[in-house]
Structure 1
Amino acid sequence: MRTYEGEFKIELPREKVWNFITDSNKVGPCVPDLIELNVESPNRFNSRVKVGVGPIRGKFDLAVELSVVEPGSVMAMTVKGGGMGSGVDMKAEATLSDVEGGTLLKWRADTSISGPIASLGGRLIDNEARKIIEKVFANLKSALDASA
């Protein structure tokens, strides 16, 4: 199990950020290297993404579910799926708090990877996983900033 975390400020009221991050139609397109998106419900979507870790490159199919932990302030996201003989299981949580000039979004993701990708070694996986997760949250921030 590997853990990644970070935070960023969004210059929007918490209610607007909350409504965005708990909506599959808005969060789904923020997935990096997205090939295909199928929104099943307001809190569920499936995606196909391009993945490249070291010499292994291909496509992953992911099932994503968003859930409310504390209305208006804490949401969770589970991601399960795989491809190329490898699998990923991630549980992420985002916490929103009011700060001067907007909202602070703190996130944490606990990730488990299996299969050939897992055999590449911790440092390589950590670097790529960190890039992908940070890209998800950077895309969220960009989408939120654009909606301001």
Structure 2
Amino acid sequence: MDVQGKRHIPLSPAQAWEALNSPAMLRACIPGCESIEQSAPGRFEVVQQLEIAGHRTSFTSTLWLQDANPPHSYVLRFEGNGGSAGFGAGRALVALQPAGDGTSLQYQANAEVGGAIAQMGGALADQAVRGLIEDFFTRFERSARGELVLAPHGMAERLWEMMPPWAWALSTLVAVFILYWGLHGTW
């Protein structure tokens, strides 16, 4: 399965390169990322919680850079294991080029899956993997634009930070009401 795309990133190629190699940025952008640790230069160990075709599972993955040409391009290789859910492996060629007031980020990725994920059917498995890849690059673009707050903590905190202002206000009002009612037993 192949996925390719192009994004305009409002950063210089050097800044985009730095962001693509930042554990905090990767954590914010990798779908379902629970943790990420840099085990060596250009090598990351990732734990993800994913739901694929209604099945929620934990994946442990390794990401590593090959053929790095800072700040222009690299090949990102990945291997992941979800236990009984299956496994995935692939690579993504990422190229960064100056473009006006930022950088043109182009990617071409391919991935293969096996185990229970592959048994869902080729089209459904491809759709799930394609969605994960597209989700990563969408989040990266949004983070670079300042639309997605980088959070060095868990999913609940990241969801809170992504909430629109009206949801913050509503949540705060509900919390105040619950606190007041709990202390006084009446409104």
The TM-score bracket by the shorter chain reads 0.7 to 0.9
Identify the residue that residue 134 of structure 1 maps to in structure 2: 134
Structural RMSD (CA)? 1.9
Structure 1 counterpart of 2:91, one-letter code: K
Aligned-pair CA distance for 1:56:
2.7
Tell me the TM-score normalised to structure 2 length: 0.71
Once the two structures are superposed, the pairs formed by residues 79-118 of structure 1 within 5 Å of their partners are 79-85=78-84, 86-118=86-118
Structure 2 counterpart of 1:130, one-letter code: R
Q: Bigger shift: 25-34 or 103-112?
A: 25-34
Q: Distance in 1 between matches of 2:122 and 2:10?
A: 35
Aligned-pair CA distance for 1:55:
3.6
Identify the residue that residue 179 of structure 2 maps to in structure 1: none
Identify the residue that residue 45 of structure 2 maps to in structure 1: 46
Contact 2:31 2:50 in 1 (8 A): no
Contact 1:92 1:107 in 2 (8 A): yes
Structure 2 counterpart of 1:87, one-letter code: F
Alpha-carbon spacing, 1:68–1:141, altered in 2? closer, same or farther (3 Å): farther
Q: Distance in 2 between matches of 1:66 and 1:51?
A: 23
Looking at secondary structure, tell me which structure has more helix per residue. Answer: 2
Tell me the TM-score normalised to structure 1 length: 0.88
Gaps of 5+ in 2: 148-187
- 1:26-76 Cα distance to aligned partner (Å, 9 max, x none): 324421111222222341111111122214321111111123433321111
Q: Distance in 2 between matches of 1:143 and 1:68?
A: 25
Alpha-carbon spacing, 1:145–1:42, altered in 2? closer, same or farther (3 Å): farther
For the residue of structure 2 that corresponds to 1:108, the secondary structure is strand
Contact 1:28 1:39 in 2 (8 A): no
Q: Distance in 2 between matches of 1:25 and 1:76?
A: 20
Alpha-carbon spacing, 1:124–1:38, altered in 2? closer, same or farther (3 Å): same
Aligned-pair CA distance for 1:122:
1.6
Structure 2 counterpart of 1:27, one-letter code: L
Alpha-carbon spacing, 1:128–1:4, altered in 2? closer, same or farther (3 Å): same
Bigger relative contact order (CA 8 A; separation at least 6): 1
- State the identity %: 22
Contact 1:51 1:58 in 2 (8 A): yes
Task: Please list every run of at least 4 consecutive aligned residues from structure 1 whose deviation after the TM superposition is greater than 6 angstroms.
Answer: none
Q: Distance in 2 between matches of 1:112 and 1:43?
A: 22
